[in-house]
Amino acid sequence: MEIILLESFDKLGKIGDVVNVKDGFARNFLLPQKKALRANKSNKEYYEKIKSSLQEKNDELIKNAKEISTQLQKKEITFIRQASETGQLYGSVSPKDISNYFKNENILIAPSNINLITPIKKTGIFEVKIKLHADVLINVLINVAISEESAIEQKKISISDNDKQLDKINNSSDELELATKDIDEEIDPPFLDKDLKSSVDIKGETKIDNEVVPETEKKNS
C-alpha cells in the first residue's frame, strides 16, 4: 500500500515521504494510529494544508528528545537480580523493565523504542541503544548484578578492560609509527644531504649546471 508518512520512522522515511508498505502494517498500525495517510489525491492535498503544523510538532519532539539525550548520555542503569553461580539470571531484564525504570525517573520511553532483541539473562554490563526519536538515538549501559557491591565490582572490571583495550590500540599505533619511520629512513637516509643526493645520479656521475662531469675529471680538478 502507498502511504504518506505523518511521522518520521527509522528505516522507513521522514514526514511527508510517500512510501510503499505491507497492507497489514498500514491497516493494523500506521493508519489507525494516525501515523500515515493513504496516498490518494485528496489526502495529498490535505497533507499540504497540515504540513507546516506537522513539521513544527516534529521539531519540538526532536528538541525534547535531544534534551533527554543530554540527561541520559552514557548513563549507567543498575538492575539487581538473583542469579546462579555461573551468572545466569533467575528471570531476565526486558525492554519493559528498562522502560519502567525511566518511568520512575519521569522519562517516558516506550519498550518498543528500546533496542533489545532478547531480554538480558545473565549478569554483566550491556550497552543498549534507545530511540528517543527517529532522528535521536542514544546508548545506555545496563549493569545487571546480584548486589550493589557486585555491580560496583563489575564496573571496575569493565573500566579496567576498556583501559587495557585502549593501551593495546595505542601500542599498536606506536609500533606502526616506528615501523613506518624505519622504512622511511631506509628509503631516505637522514645523514645524506638533500642537495648532494639530487646532484648524484645512479651511475655515480655528478651533475653541475646540467652538465655531466665524469668522476676522473673531478679527481684531476
The CATH architecture of the domain made up of 73-153 is Roll (3.10)
Other beta carbons within 10 Å of 52:
9
Q: What angle do CA 203, 208, 212 make, to 5 degrees?
A: 40
Given this model, what pLDDT does residue 123 score? 95
Q: For the chain, give every domain's residue range.
A: 2-71, 73-153, 191-221
CATH 3.40.5.10 fits 2-71, yes or no: yes
d(CA 120, CA 138) in angstroms, rounded, equals 19
Is 16 a residue whose pLDDT tops 50? Answer: yes
Cβ neighbors of 196 (< 8 A, separation 6 or more) are none
Q: Give per-residue pLDDT as tens, 150-176.
A: 999 998 887 645 444 434 444 544 555
Is this structure's pTM higher than 0.85? Answer: no
- For strands 18-20 and 211-213, give the pairing: unpaired
Is 220 a residue whose pLDDT tops 60? Answer: no
